[in-house]
Structure 1
Amino acid sequence: MSIVEPGDRIFTVPNVLSFVRIAALPLFVYWMLVSPYQDGFAFVLLVISGFTDFLDGKLARLMNQSSKLGAVLDPMVDRLYLLTIIITFLMRDLIPWWLALSLIARDVILTFTIPVYRRRGLLPPEVIYLGKGATFALMSAFPWILAGQTDWAIARVAEPFGYGLLVWGTAIYFWTAVLYIGKAVAVTRHIPYSVPR
């Protein structure tokens, strides 16, 4: 069975879903920060965004619409959403400042590993499944925390459940950072710089 390499296509169904997720971000910020708050609408948007994030990967495989842009765009949108959620939740005092800064710092630190691969002519390592699980846990935690701010019947249960997911997801998120740093260190030890021609 032949392996199909990701193409250079831009307007694929998965990529369009990613573009839609980006376009929805200003609406999420508006609902979160402009009084009176619309936490219910923001909650629904986060749930839909999480579902489309899951869906675009499935569709890329099922419809043979994997692309180089999609391989970059999907994790970029995930990081953009995570950063936006962290900042808006921090501004609403829904998460402590030290947690927000540590989550942001984790991704900033990992960006410094990218030159390690580029100097050797390598692509950055693929996202590990544990990392996907950590992102999923975090992206699941925030809607539950937000549901806890509403007057819905599930609010009393949603908030502690959301914070529980947040603690679990954060722990895995930092553990995967250790794994990624370990990969970068191994590359520096065993693979020399590529010599430009």
Structure 2
Amino acid sequence: MPTVSTRVVTIPNVLSVIRLILIPVFLWLLGSSQYGYALIVLVVSSLTDFVDGWIARRFDQISRIGQLLDPAVDRLFIFSTLIGLAWMDFLPWWLVGVIVARDVALAILGVVLANHGYGPLPVHHLGKVATFSLLFALPTLVLGVAFPEVAPASAPVAWALAVWGAFLYWWAGAIYLRETVRLVRLSRVADAAASDTLGD
């Protein structure tokens, strides 16, 4: 079991902050129709997401703040990119809605869990695969925009990964819902048992 430290300044956390800073840079480049540079920023951002996780595990730099920061930046990165691409009419808004709605649902589950004394649920491997699919799909989509000559080959791959990622996103969400229901039931049973004990 890896040790989770309370350190704030670690290489993975620095990479997460860099990824956060690159979000407005990407949106500006996309809005300025500088698609080639936007693609570079997107690829760098996606790579740092994979690299920081590997560094955290390989060099024992897993931290509590990193466990919160990394998925938060991932979501913000994905949301911002989806919205930017939809705004430029490179992506349909329904796909943005499908992905954002899932995380709104998870936020509600988080509030329910907190009200019953539980912290955030650990990230499920399906959620990780979904994030990987989306982080690979978005640069592939921008690749076709930046270089139209490769779009016939890149676009089908990008769309397949995007739809698959959205599907896995919701599948993982269903698992989180099931776990939330289980924990809430356990909490209610524990409260009922405590009430009976006090009544005796």
TM-score (norm 1): 0.90
Q: How much is the aligned-residue C-alpha RMSD, in angstroms?
A: 1.7
- Give identity over the alignment, percent: 36
CA distance in 2, matches of 1:90, 1:80: 15
Deviation at 1:153, TM superposition (A): 4.3
Where in structure 2 are there 5+ consecutive unaligned residues? 195-200
Deviation at 1:80, TM superposition (A): 0.7
Deviation at 1:5, TM superposition (A): 3.5
Deviation at 1:33, TM superposition (A): 1.0
User: 5 Å matches for 1:171-182?
Assistant: 171-182=167-178
For residues 88-147 of structure 1, give each alpha carbon's deviation from its aligned partner in whole angstroms, at most 9, with x where no partner exists.
Answer: 011011111122112111101110111232233322111011110011101111111111
1:116 and 1:187 in contact (8 A); partners too: no
CA distance in 2, matches of 1:121, 1:176: 22
Residue number among 78, 89, 108 corresponding to 2:104 in the alignment: 108
Matched length: 191
1:13 and 1:59 in contact (8 A); partners too: yes
Residue number among 9, 12, 19 corresponding to 1:11 in the alignment: 9
- Tell me which residue corresponds to 1:146: 142
Q: Does 1:80 align with 2:76?
A: yes
Residue number among 61, 64, 75 corresponding to 2:60 in the alignment: 64
Q: Which moved more, 1:115-124 or 1:186-195?
A: 186-195
Deviation at 1:176, TM superposition (A): 1.1
Q: Does 1:27 align with 2:22?
A: no
1:113 is paired with a residue of what secondary structure?
helix
CA distance in 2, matches of 1:147, 1:4: 37
Deviation at 1:154, TM superposition (A): 2.5
2:146 is paired with a residue of what secondary structure?
coil
